[in-house]
Structure formats: structure tokens, C-alpha cells
Amino acid sequence: MASSTIRHVVVVGGGSAGWLTAGLIAAEHRANSPDGLRVTLVESPDVATIGVGEGTWPSMRDTLRRIGVSESDFLRECDAAFKQGSLFARWSSGQDNDYYFHPFSLPQGYGEANLVERWQEAHTGVPFADLASYQPHLCMAGRAPKQAATPEFAAVANYGYHLDAGKFGQFLKKHCLERLGVHYVPDHVLGIESHEDGDIAALRTRHHGLLKGDLFVDCTGMRALLLGQHYGVPFLSQQHVLFNDTALAVQVPYASDDTPIASQTTSTAQRAGWIWDIGLPTRRGVGHVYSSAHTSDEQAERDLRAYLAASGGPQDCPTPRKISFQPGYREHFWHRNCVAVGLSSGFIEPLEASALAMVELSAAMIVDEMPVTRDHMDAVAHRFNDTFRYRWERVIDFLKLHYVLSRREDSAYWLDNRTPKSIPERLQELLSLWRYRAPMRGDFPRIEEVFPTASWQYVLYGMGWRNEAGATRRGDGLLADSYFREAADLTRRMLPALPANRELLAHIRSHGLPRH
Ligand SMILES: Cc1cc2nc3c(=O)[nH]c(=O)nc-3n(C[C@H](O)[C@H](O)[C@H](O)COP(=O)(O)OP(=O)(O)OC[C@H]3O[C@@H](n4cnc5c(N)ncnc54)[C@H](O)[C@@H]3O)c2cc1C
């Protein structure tokens, strides 16, 4: 039988998911003190990490703060920059002038006034996000989200990061080993030893013998060594909803050392997918995500090269790296004394960059609900599974929203994306509710929803959705107008007060940010 008290957590895998999870558990459960939890991370020297995953949400600021790193060190060592949201180009009509923002800041007056109704009534000449938020204007001007005097992790405008995934893993590893008391075993896991009841007793490693533990966290990436291969927990493919299953990724230099660093991820729709464009201080990360059922690898590469040529990329673009994936997630995530975090629990195309946010949410829930005994664990597992099944479903609905509202007709890909059988029933129901009213908080009633209602509004109206007349309830148009004026006023004041991204990052490189 497994020991009754949970004392030793073993994390398998040293990608972003493994180090973030080990770091959070170690920091919050005092792994560096004798009466804290013991945390061990085992990582195979033979299996590389996925090496992509460059866009984060604002939640990463809290995660890094909880782990106890310095933001200045993080920015310098991970070649990181600030991300204030996403810009979607050519998603709706496919034309040159077709774009909208999904900023990280909530609309001014969010929850206080019916902004959408007033926008539709009086201001549709301006995109909804541009009217309700100052942030699209900061992004268009390439502004940083804070000043040199703003303390670490504090924001003037809400922000997450763009980062180098490889450097991020190394940075977290160093912090976990030097500061947080995580034990490190560089070794390949060959097999699993079980207790009679089916719990995992130990991992069989190539050079370090048996590695015993009480709770095992599967962060082995798409292999899902423990949850998938050992326990056989089914994988629920979502390819019938979200078709993309392949990515071609490249890293390209800037045209010159002073090329501005973009404040947002730009996602430009293509004939059979879309291209991400992420600006780091020293290079861009660009990738084409597409459906292999709708285009060939050769055509996808030609489209990627055409995008690079048109957007200031180098003449001789490096050969892209191809990554194949099956979109979907596990039927459940916590099974017996094993919980999966990261790609082992599932992966859906990186539109809206939700994967690392799901890692953070998973690690935070494990930390907050850390079972005290083995008996206690089943109830925690049940809640964890319920919470994350709900979250995966919301992620899928939200990503699908970007496709179902498109008016593009230039390829089978866009038409197939709008066939009713590819649209989850939950999303269809929401869309029929939203025919006559804007998304509201009650539509997403859980605490810590993955996407706030504001995000649904930004995408819905950014894609050109309009509510039909018919609502008889009166909105307060004057109040909404006062918030729109507030957004415009903030824009006027912030634009001259905030430095350009490159300027602030150069300052941080030499002087750092003030610490609290
Ligand atoms: C094309 C693409 C773009 C993406 N873009 C984004 C983005 O913009 N934003 C975002 O949030 N996410 C993004 N993601 C997802 C993101 O990359 C991952 O969620 C994140 O990197 C976490 O990966 P991981 O740690 O789960 O897996 P991996 O990085 O694959 O790590 C797996 C680890 O398991 C270890 N391992 C495997 N087998 C064994 C074994 N037998 N014994 C011991 N160790 C073993 C490996 O050595 C490795 O250390 C993207 C993913 C893809 C595919």
C-alpha cells in the first residue's frame, strides 16, 4: 500500500510544465525546509522538450511572483518581452483592412454599463475594443505596458510575456534547484512499479534505480508516459471541432537592431490555418499552424515564406521545424496517485496561447488542494477532473468562436469550420443566446473561468457579430459613453507617458526594475 501521508511529490519531465509545477509546489510547500514536502524532478537527457510556447497570459506574472523570481532577471535571462494581447488579422473577411484586437485589459466600465449595446447603437464606426479600451492604441503605437519606475510585476496596462521557451526552462530549473530545494534526477524513466491497488509505487530509471514517491506528476509532454501509456486514460480527440494539427515554426532576425518590438502577438489567418508572429528582444518567432487535411506541408511552407517576405523577414529564411500534434485532451487528468500537467493532459492549437495558462491553473490547484493523505487524494482528484474537463471545454468553445464567425469563403477550410456538425452544442447555444444580447457574466458562472466574459465580447464583436434588435430592457447609454470617454482620455495620457518596448527592455537590461 502507498504510505498514507503525502510527503514526496515526483514530477516527471523538465519542460515548462514540469519546472513550473515543481517550482510552485516547492515554493508553497516549503521543499527547502525539513518539515516541508520533498519535491523531485526527473528529466530524460534523451527526450528533448517541445521547445515552443512563447506567448503567455498575464497570469504568468502571479505565477513567477509566487515562485519568487525577480522579474528583471526573468526578462533578461529568458529574452522576454511584454505582451498586451493579440491582434487578429484577416480572420473575418480576409481583406487587408480586416483586423481586431483582443487586449488583456478589460473594457473601461466592464460590468458597470452595457457597453456593447451603446456601441451598437451609436459607435459602430469604431471597432469595439478600440472604443472600450485604451490598450489597442498602446499596441498600435508599440508602447510598453509600464514605465521604468513601475515596480517588478506591477502594470500600468495589463500584460503577459513573449519569451524564449528553451531559455525559460533553463531559468526555472536554475531557480528551482538553487533557491527552492527541488531535487533533480537527470535520467530516463524506463518503466513503472505499481502497488497492489494500482497506485504508482516508483519509477524505474536507467541509472538511478527506483524512484519512489507518494504523488506523481506526469509532465512528459505529448508522450503522456504515466497517464496515457501506463494507465491508458483515453485521449479525446477534438479534431472534428478544431482541424489544425501541424505547425511549421521558424526564428528570424529583425531587419535591424532598432526594429520596434511588437506589443502583441499577431495572428494572421491563412487559407488553411493562421500564422503567429511573436517579437522577442533579439528575434521574432513565427509559425504557421494549419490543418493537414486542408493543405500540404509544401503549400504551408510557401505561405509561411510569403508572410515572412511581406513582413520584413530575411531573404533566406531558415528551414522551418515541423511539429505535428493531435488536438484534444484526456478523459480525466488525475488518476489514482498520478496527475497530468501540460501537453500530457492535452493540447489544442496555440491560438490565444492558453496552454501555459492551463499549466499554471493546474499547478495552482495542485498546490492549493495538495492532498494530505492518500485517502484525501481521491476527493481532490475528483474536483480537479471536474474543473479541468470544464476548462478544456471552454477553451475549445472559445477557440472555435474565432472560426465560426468568419465570413471567409476562399477555401474549404473556412467553409468546413462553419458546418454545424463541427460546432459544439454548448457554443451553438451560446450563439443563439447572444443573437439578442451581449455575453454576460452569468454565461460563464465558474470561479476562475479560463476566459472572462470580456474576452468573448472582444472576439465576438471583433469578428463582426451584431446583436439583433428586440431587447426591450433599457441600457444606460450616457454611462456607457462616459466610459468610452474615459478609455479615450486614458489613451491620450498613456501614449506619451509610456516608453517603447525596446527602450524599456534596454533600460531593464542595464538597470533592472524597482523591486517592491
Ligand atoms: C506549435 C506550438 C506552439 C505553442 N505555442 C504556445 C504559446 O504561444 N503559448 C503557450 O502557452 N503554449 C504554447 N504551446 C504549448 C507549450 O509549448 C507547452 O504547453 C509547454 O511547452 C509545456 O510543454 P510540456 O512541459 O508539457 O512538454 P515538453 O516540453 O515536451 O517536455 C516534456 C518533458 O518530459 C521529459 N520526458 C519525456 N519522456 C521521458 C521519460 N521517459 N523519462 C523522463 N523524462 C521524460 C522530456 O525530457 C521533457 O523534459 C505551443 C505548442 C506548440 C506545439
Residues of the chain with pLDDT under 50: 1-3
Residue 16 CA to ligand 1 centre (angstroms): 6
Strands 38-43 and 183-186: parallel
Instruction: Name all residues whose Cβ lies below 6 A of ligand 1.
Output: 12-18, 42-44, 47, 49-50, 52-56, 165, 188-189, 219-221, 223, 225, 247, 249, 287, 323, 325, 342-344, 350, 353, 355-356, 359
Alpha-carbon gap, residue 272 to 374, rounded angstroms: 48
Alpha-carbon gap, residue 205 to 193, rounded angstroms: 11
| Residue 444: predicted pLDDT | 92
Residue 341 CA to ligand 1 centre (angstroms): 10
Contacts of residue 253, Cβ cutoff 8 Å, sequence gap at least 6:
282, 283, 284, 314
Alpha-carbon gap, residue 362 to 117, rounded angstroms: 36
Strands 235-237 and 328-330: antiparallel
Instruction: Please return the burial class of 69, using the count of CB atoms within 10 Å of its CB with bins 0-12, 13-18 and 19+.
Output: buried
| Residue 473: predicted pLDDT | 61
> What is the secondary structure of 90-119 as a DSSP string?
SSSS-STT-EEEEESSPPTTTTTS-HHHHH
Domain range list for the chain: 8-54+164-237+327-394, 246-324
Nearest residue to 237 via CA among 392, 399, 12: 392
Q: Are 154 and 65 in contact (CB under 8 A)?
A: no
For 8-54+164-237+327-394, CATH gives: 3.50.50.60
Strands 8-12 and 215-218: parallel
The continuous run of DSSP H or E covering 218 comes out as strand 215-218
Contacts of residue 401, Cβ cutoff 8 Å, sequence gap at least 6:
427, 456, 459, 460, 463
Nearest residue to 323 via CA among 60, 79, 83, 48: 48
| Residue 472: predicted pLDDT | 55
Atom of ligand 1 nearest to the CA of 165: 21
| Residue 2: predicted pLDDT | 46
Question: Other C-beta atoms within 10 Å of 210: how many?
Answer: 11
Question: Global pTM?
Answer: 0.97
DSSP 8-state secondary structure symbol assigned to residue 230:
I
| Residue 448: predicted pLDDT | 85
DSSP 8-state secondary structure symbol assigned to residue 422:
G
Q: Indicate the top mutation candidate among 167, 343, 358, 360 to test ligand 1's pocket, ranked by most ligand atoms within 8 A of CB.
A: 343
Atom of ligand 1 nearest to the CA of 276: 8
| Residue 465: predicted pLDDT | 95
pLDDT in tens, 355-409: 999 999 999 999 999 999 999 999 999 999 999 999 999 999 999 999 999 999 9
Alpha-carbon gap, residue 158 to 503, rounded angstroms: 18
